[in-house]
Amino acid sequence: MISREFKAGIAVLLAAGILYWGISFLKGSDLFESGVEVYAVYDNTEGITQSENVTINGFAVGKVANVYFHPDNSGRIVVKMKITTDYPITANSIAEIRSADLLGAKEIALLLEKGAVLIENGDTLRSSVEESISESINKEVLPVKIKAEKLLASLDSTINILSGFLGGEMQSEFRTSFTNVNRSISNLGLITDELSTYMADNREALGSATQNLERLTSMLNENRDELDRVFNNLANISDTLAQSNVGAAMRSLSQTARRLDQITASVEQGEGTLGKLVANDSLYHEVNSAILSLDKLLEDIRKHPGRYVEFSIFGGRDKEAKNDE
């Protein structure tokens, strides 16, 4: 017969075992569940604790079994994970600590890499830590913060400059400038009104001018081919002139002009026959008198040809008869 003390001892042992199993289960370790234990070493675990989930693509495949300092006293932290899935996990996979939700809960995500070797019990995986939400926000906000600080500094400088600018005499000049600006705006309004009135009074003339401009544009479009030919001809003429020896022609013309100047100067100075005729009045009168005498002689020959010319069919006989007589 079993004693009462023995039964009590058995009950205490069972209670202790159940208690230990319950505590282990709450910590994420199931004594009756098989799996592979692997490790990862981190410089900072970002607050990861025991019993946090180990996931692949968001699906839980294990738990964090333990977290402790590395035995080499380097300050690094070892995370022990128990993988309970049969899914093949390569030995070169990465165990990355990341945020599980916006409330700050953490998990370890296994980033699978291609490889032929699968993890075994006691392997150490490569580790990484995802950038936290606060760090991401700080990186995004930091440039805005820097720009805002620069803007505030610029505004402060601008306010100081304006304060000095608007003080004393500068304030009076600034008001005068504003008055001039207002006057200019008023004048611009008057000009706009006058222009509107003019356009209203001359609407028909402006409409006619617009129509004429449209007709001119249409005519130019209709005669575009002719205009193109004219412009091409002008271009050809320009090319011809550019290729011709215009410089030589201009030099020859210049030489001819100089020679004409020399001849004119010689005539004015009385050199040569033409110069003497122009410069010597007596020679001019003598030539003129000779021309008049010649004219009179020709007129007398025309009126009395017999005085100067003897004409006979027999010619020499008449002359001999007259000589005999």
| Burial status of residue 95 (CB atoms within 10 A of its CB: 0-12, 13-18, 19 or more) | buried
User: Both 17 and 88 in a single domain?
Assistant: no
Domain span at residue 238 reads: 202-244
pLDDT score at 9: 74
**How many separate domains does the chain show?**
3
User: Both 27 and 63 in a single domain?
Assistant: no
User: Both 73 and 22 in a single domain?
Assistant: no
User: Both 80 and 59 in a single domain?
Assistant: yes
User: Both 17 and 67 in a single domain?
Assistant: no
User: Both 80 and 54 in a single domain?
Assistant: yes
Give 68-85 pLDDT, tens digit per residue.
999 999 999 999 999 998
Domain boundary residue among 130, 153, 188? 130
Residue 302 in any domain: the answer is no
Three-class secondary structure of residue 99 per DSSP? strand
Residue 183 in any domain: the answer is no
Residue 51 in any domain: the answer is yes
User: Both 101 and 124 in a single domain?
Assistant: yes
- CB of 129 within 8 A of CB of 42? yes
State the DSSP string of 75-94.
S-EEEEEEE---S--BTT-E
Q: What's the pTM?
A: 0.38
pLDDT score at 14: 77
Give 164-210 pLDDT, tens digit per residue.
665 556 667 767 777 888 888 888 888 888 887 877 777 777 777 78
User: Both 79 and 4 in a single domain?
Assistant: no
Residue 26 in any domain: the answer is yes
User: Both 1 and 45 in a single domain?
Assistant: no
User: Both 124 and 208 in a single domain?
Assistant: no
- Range 204-209 contact pairs with CB under 8 angstroms and sequence separation of 24 or more: none
Residue 301 in any domain: the answer is no
pLDDT score at 271: 67
Q: For tokens 């210049």, what's the residue?
A: 254
Q: For CA atoms 17, 21, 24, 29, give the dihedral sign.
A: positive
What CATH code is carried by the domain that includes residue 101? 2.40.30
User: Both 41 and 65 in a single domain?
Assistant: yes
Residue 80 in any domain: the answer is yes
pLDDT score at 319: 46
User: Both 1 and 88 in a single domain?
Assistant: no
Residue 217 in any domain: the answer is yes
- CB of 60 within 8 A of CB of 68? no
Given a cut of 90, is residue 97 above it in pLDDT?
yes
Residue 282 in any domain: the answer is no
- Please state at what angle helix 203-222 crosses helix 169-201, rounded to 10 degrees: 80
Given a cut of 80, is residue 26 above it in pLDDT?
no
